[in-house]
């Protein structure tokens, strides 16, 4: 018999297993024009291919995260419109490209708000549609009985 058949299931469940990592890799992606609906400023997103890749030991990274770069709050993660514009200009986008993206994003945001408003009326529209169908059936039945 093979080696696995000689080990009981209780031996396998009580044996300790561990995983460890010696280094981690951080990929840095470029900022590009995005397509997220927004009313203020240009939308931004990360590009698909990383610009650079940095490798650190896990110990160094953990020490850095706790002392020099603690986690940011949700409010700190928001980027003001002017800052997003500056990032895009630094990334090589023209003012006209940024303006065009702003207009597209504002139009998309407006359409999204209109859709949300219409969703509130959807149950009423469904009931009216059902009433129209029932009335049509009733009218056809009444006409056939004459």
For the stretch 95-135, pLDDT in tens is 999 999 999 999 999 999 888 888 877 778 788 888 888 88
d(CA 87, CA 44): 9
Tell me: pLDDT of 46 over 80: yes
With bands split at pLDDT 50, 70 and 90, how would you rate the model's confidence at 8?
low
Question: Measuring CA to CA, how many Å separate 52 from each of 25, 55, 89?
Answer: 10, 10, 20
Tokens 């009981």 label which residue?
8
**Helix or strand holding residue 26 (H, E):** strand 23-28
Work out the average pLDDT over 50-67: 92
Report phi then psi at 40, rounded to 5. Answer: -125, 120
Work out the average pLDDT over 29-44: 91
Contact 105, 97 (CB under 8 A): no
pTM for this entry? 0.61
Tell me: pLDDT of 24 over 90: yes
Contact 65, 56 (CB under 8 A): no
Two tokens, residue 86: 């500056």
d(CA 87, CA 14): 54
Percent of the chain residues past pLDDT 70, beyond the cut: 90
Other residues' Cβ atoms within 10 Å of the Cβ of residue 117: 9
Percent of the chain residues past pLDDT 90, beyond the cut: 49
Q: Give residue 57's pLDDT.
A: 94
With bands split at pLDDT 50, 70 and 90, how would you rate the model's confidence at 6?
low
């Amino acid at each position: 018999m093979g080696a696995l058949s000689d080990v009981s299931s209780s031996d396998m469940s009580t044996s300790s297993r561990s995983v460890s990592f010696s280094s981690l890799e951080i990929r840095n992606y470029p900022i590009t024009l995005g397509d997220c609906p927004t009313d203020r400023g240009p939308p931004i997103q990360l590009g698909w291919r990383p610009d650079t890749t940095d490798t650190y030991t896990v110990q160094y990274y953990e020490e850095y995260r706790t002392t020099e770069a603690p986690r940011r709050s949700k409010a700190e993660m928001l980027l003001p419109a002017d800052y997003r514009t500056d990032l895009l200009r630094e990334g090589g986008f023209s003012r006209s490209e940024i303006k065009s993206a702003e207009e597209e994003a504002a139009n998309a945001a407006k359409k999204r708000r209109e859709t949300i408003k219409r969703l509130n009326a959807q149950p009423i529209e469904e009931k009216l549609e059902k009433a129209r169908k029932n009335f049509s059936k009733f009218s056809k039945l009444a006409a056939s009985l004459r």
